[in-house]
Amino acid sequence: MERVSIAPDAVPVTGSAASTTAAPVRTCIGCRTRDAQSALLRLVAVREPGAPRAEVVADGARRLPGRGAWVHPSERCWNLALKKNAFSRALRSPGVGVPEMPSVIRSSAESG
Ligand SMILES: [Zn+2]
């Protein structure tokens, strides 16, 4: 007798908008708390052609290639990450340039 293993994938995957799957979890480089990816802001190190060094860029659309780091879009977490120099470590990019706090963070911090 032959045994055929059947994968229990009864849920059809349509390729887009699979909202029932568990949300991926990432760790904030500021407060080191794990949170849903959707609650965090993605950061990547981008080096423009001819630029002396890479710069941290907020990747709001989560489309930029390369290694990403994640931070809560809050002033507190941004400053914590700055203080700990967490950007270069998380992005494996020593000496990466860290810009002013992205406007995404500033605007979301106004309420709190
Ligand atoms: Zn945080």
Encode pLDDT of 60-106 as tens digits: 999 999 999 999 999 999 999 999 999 999 999 999 999 899 888 88
Q: Nearest-CA neighbor of 56 among 102, 5, 17, 9?
A: 102
Ligand 1 centre distance from Cα of residue 20 (Å): 25
Per the prediction, the chain carries an average pLDDT of 85
User: Where in the chain are the domains?
Assistant: 25-109
pTM: 0.74
The answer, yes or no, to whether residue 16 has pLDDT greater than 80, is: no
* Average confidence (pLDDT) over 37-56: 94
Judge contact between 85 and 41, C-beta under 8 A: no
Q: Has residue 28 got a pLDDT over 90?
A: yes
Percent of the chain with pLDDT over 70: 78
Say which residues have a Cβ less than 8 Å from residue 79's Cβ, sequence separation at least 6.
Answer: 30
Residue 6 reports pLDDT greater than 70: no
C-alpha 108 – ligand 1 centre gap (Å): 13
Token reading at 38: 């959707």
Residue 76 pLDDT? 96
Percentage, residues of the chain above pLDDT 90: 66
Domain 25-109: give its CATH architecture.
Answer: 2-Layer Sandwich (3.30)
- How remote is the CA of residue 28 from the centroid of ligand 1, in Å? 5
